[in-house]
């Protein structure tokens, strides 16, 4: 099993029933499964203009997830990436349309346009007032005679929904919806294609590349670009969208295409906010999955230049869980640390030898990032190298501010620096180690004995001892031989690190939760890091 699904044939109907089951009786559906899949509001007042949208499934929460007060009246769902039938659309129209009429909001795909269009004609023949707006917000393929409908469709859902809820006429709701469509532009980017249930996944996007301008059904985009980082990705998107910014407050809709982690989406939101300090974007909807493409690892960005009335409609509150709301971009507010927690900067003092030694060790840890990450992936979460590298970069940057000429001050300064720049338990352990070492140095103890006292304190607080498959397995034997010279200490550290590959039952750290077969033959990453440091010191 690669997906949490039952039978491919029942995916959409089971998903709809799951949505209804947790809706708190706010949603219902028409009978007619599996061919007619219409979700509608149970509290609908037919004296108001009905809004109906829909299309193929696989874009959840769109469209059924936006059925509710202030947005859609009903959603007509097709199979995955397939338009619903004419009969299904007609059933939806007839179910919710009263004398005030109905507006169909349709994305510009041939199947949707034809099926919704024919259903509208049949409904009119039955005496219903029906209008249709076709959404074509995609700007990725400028030479395409009919642009596709993307996540910008949600702007129309929200603005038209607010107007319909307020009791506006069908003519006015339709006119405003058409205006909004003309003011919306969208483009998408993805690192991978999506997985269509029951189909072989297309392997189209090369490693290290991102596809710009692909559609919400996985259709190929306009180009594949080299992906450097999130900043470059957001910059490329805004470069394409900037010519489409109009007058008024620009609202951006940051949409997760399904497989992008919330962490990544927040990074992209930060880049959007950073770029927006130099452009017209004033408000943001999201980041959130709103119109997805199954599990596609990508995002889309839609922008709309709003009038005051349209902005007010976007800001109108709704109770829908799937709608993330709209917020103004603002300066990041930073409060000072509570008294006693703000770090006291050490008094800098210079020592060329100490500076060069610490700098060399920092360079070694930065260079070893990939190797240590690969080791940690066997027994942990694969970030030991990244954690040490990040701390080493910060330490090297702040080295000139350190009290390098005084070990009694340098050791706690190192501990404080690492506790702030290293995440997880590693930063705490090293902070304890260096602070205890500094305390010993202040009593006049030799550096070799002071380091040994630091290790003792780490074992007392952390509970790990030699043989538990941690950094102590390399650090303890190295410190025991340090009084005899750094070469012997480095050899002992290496032997200790290598012995951890034979310890298949860890008693501390994340490795304690890892099956024995995963540990056999692989050094503990913390012990390996200690060995690399001592070997580096021996080579200076």
Residue positions annotated with a catalytic role: 217
Query: Closest Cα partner for 317 from 158, 172, 169?
Result: 158
Q: Which residues contact 101 (CB under 8 A, 6 or more apart)?
A: 49, 50, 128, 129, 130, 131, 170
Going from the C-alpha of 480 to that of each of 259, 459, 487, the distances in angstroms are 50, 15, 12
- Rounded CA gap, 265 and 297, in Å? 11
Going from the C-alpha of 332 to that of each of 284, 286, 335, the distances in angstroms are 15, 17, 10
Could you count the other beta carbons within 10 Å of the beta carbon of residue 303? 27
- Rounded CA gap, 64 and 77, in Å? 8
Could you count the other beta carbons within 10 Å of the beta carbon of residue 3? 11
Helix 447-462 to helix 472-481 angle (10° resolution) is 150
The angle at the Cα of 183, spanning 181 to 187, to the nearest 5 degrees, equals 85
**CA neighbours within 13 Å on the CB side: how many for 317?**
1
């Amino acid at each position: 099993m690669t997906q949490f699904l039952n039978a491919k044939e029942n995916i959409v109907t089971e998903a709809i029933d799951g949505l209804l089951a947790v809706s708190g009786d706010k949603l219902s559906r028409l009978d007619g499964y599996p061919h007619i899949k219409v979700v509608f509001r149970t509290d609908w007042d037919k004296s108001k203009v009905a809004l109906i949208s829909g299309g193929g499934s696989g874009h959840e929460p769109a469209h059924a997830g936006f059925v509710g007060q202030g947005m859609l009246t009903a959603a007509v769902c097709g199979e995955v990436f397939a338009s619903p039938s004419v009969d299904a659309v007609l059933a939806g129209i007839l179910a919710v349309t009263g004398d005030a009429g109905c507006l169909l909001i349709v994305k510009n795909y041939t199947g949707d346009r034809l099926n919704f269009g024919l259903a509208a004609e049949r409904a009119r023949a039955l005496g219903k007032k029906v209008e249709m707006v076709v959404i074509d917000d995609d700007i990725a393929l400028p030479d395409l005679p009919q642009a596709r409908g993307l996540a910008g469709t949600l702007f129309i859902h929200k603005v038209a929904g607010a107007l319909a809820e307020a009791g506006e006429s069908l003519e006015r709701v339709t006119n405003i919806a058409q205006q909004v469509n003309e003011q919306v532009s969208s483009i998408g980017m993805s690192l991978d294609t999506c997985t269509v249930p029951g189909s072989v996944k297309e392997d189209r996007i090369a490693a290290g590349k991102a596809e710009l301008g692909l559609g919400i059904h996985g259709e190929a985009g306009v180009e594949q670009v080299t992906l450097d980082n999130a900043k470059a990705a957001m910059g490329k998107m805004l470069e394409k969208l900037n010519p489409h910014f109009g007058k008024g407050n620009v609202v951006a809709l940051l949409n997760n295409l399904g497989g992008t982690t919330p962490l990544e989406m927040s990074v992209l939101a930060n880049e959007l906010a950073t770029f927006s300090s130099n452009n017209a974007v004033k408000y943001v909807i999201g980041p959130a999955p709103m119109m997805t493409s199954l599990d596609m690892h990508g995002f889309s960005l839609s922008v709309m230049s709003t009038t005051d009335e349209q902005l007010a409609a976007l800001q109108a509150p709704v109770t829908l869980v799937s709608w993330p709301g709209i917020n103004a971009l603002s300066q990041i507010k930073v409060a000072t640390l509570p008294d006693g927690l703000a770090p006291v900067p050490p008094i800098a003092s210079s020592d060329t030898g100490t500076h060069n030694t610490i700098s060399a060790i920092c360079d070694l840890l930065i260079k070893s990032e990939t190797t240590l990450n690969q080791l940690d992936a066997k027994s942990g979460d694969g970030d030991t190298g990244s954690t040490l590298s990040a701390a080493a970069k910060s330490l090297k940057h702040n080295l000139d501010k350190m009290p390098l000429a005084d070990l009694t001050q340098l050791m706690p300064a190192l501990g404080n620096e690492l506790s702030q720049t290293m995440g997880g338990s590693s930063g705490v352990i090293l902070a304890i180690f260096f602070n205890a070492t500094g305390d010993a140095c202040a009593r006049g103890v030799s550096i070799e004995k002071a380091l040994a006292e630091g290790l003792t304190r780490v074992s007392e607080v952390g509970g790990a001892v030699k043989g538990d498959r941690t950094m102590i397995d390399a650090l303890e034997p190295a410190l025991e031989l340090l009084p005899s010279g750094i070469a012997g200490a480095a050899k002992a550290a290496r032997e200790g690190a290598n012995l951890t590959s034979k310890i298949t039952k860890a008693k501390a750290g994340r490795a304690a939760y890892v099956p024995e077969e995963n540990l056999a033959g692989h050094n503990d990453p913390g012990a390996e890091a200690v060995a690399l440091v001592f070997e580096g010191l021996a080579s200076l």
